[in-house]
Amino acid sequence: MSMLSTLKAVVAVAHALLVPAYHLLARHLDYAEPGVDYFDRRHTERATRRAIRPLERHGYRVTLERAA
């Protein structure tokens, strides 16, 4: 990895950390941890497909029904 690409990566990570921190401080907000299942709650269909895929790779046929 060249020095220039290393510096770009450092700046990108710093930017990713500083922008949310700035907005929290500027708006006088407290940080609220979204939780472990944040991604799954936000993208339920994608999480379902991600859970089914390994079973299908192992030769299982998966049929889903909504729980009552």
Phi, psi (5° rounding) for residue 61?
A: -100, 125
Each residue's pLDDT tens digit, 2-52:
888 999 999 999 999 999 999 999 999 999 998 998 988 899 999 899 999
25 with 37, same domain: the answer is: no
Q: Which domain holds residue 54?
A: 33-68
37 with 68, same domain: the answer is: yes
Tell me what pLDDT residue 15 has.
97
27 with 9, same domain: the answer is: yes
Tell me what pLDDT residue 55 has.
96
49 with 25, same domain: the answer is: no
Question: What gap in Å lies between CA 9 and CA 45, rounded to an integer?
Answer: 32
Is the pLDDT assigned to residue 1 strictly greater than 80?
no
Tell me what pLDDT residue 40 has.
84
Reading the block at residue 48, the tokens are: 């379902």
Tell me what pLDDT residue 24 has.
96
Question: What gap in Å lies between CA 22 and CA 11, rounded to an integer?
Answer: 16
